[in-house]
Amino acid sequence: MDRKLLDILVCPASRQPLALLDAAGLDALNAAIASGNARREDGSAQAGPVREALVTHDRKRVYRVDDGIPVLLVEEGIATAQIPDFPKA
């Protein structure tokens, strides 16, 4: 993802800065998706694994990146509290 774009992106719900989700966070997220435990803010299940994602500064919400395009819709966000073993820092 372009660094200049990443520097200006914020969470649409909390207005916190976003950062690329690290490998450990991505692994935890995809494990939760595979087990059916990852729900989006709108209540729907995340259908497939995520290759790239952005995480809020407080690490409470994740937004997927599809083909290099961040999906920054509140209803598409995934709360990390529901993800077992999601790294907090």
| Tens-place pLDDT, residues 10-42 | 999 999 999 999 999 999 999 999 999 999 999
The per-residue pLDDT for 36 is: 92
Beta partners for residue 61, in sequence order = 79
Q: What is the 3-state secondary structure (H, E, C) of 46-82?
A: CCCCCCCEEEECCCCEEEEEECCEECCCHHHCEEHHH
| Tens-place pLDDT, residues 49-70 | 999 999 999 999 999 999 999 9
Assign 9 to helix, strand or coil: coil
Q: What percent of the chain has pLDDT over 70?
A: 99
pTM of the model: 0.92
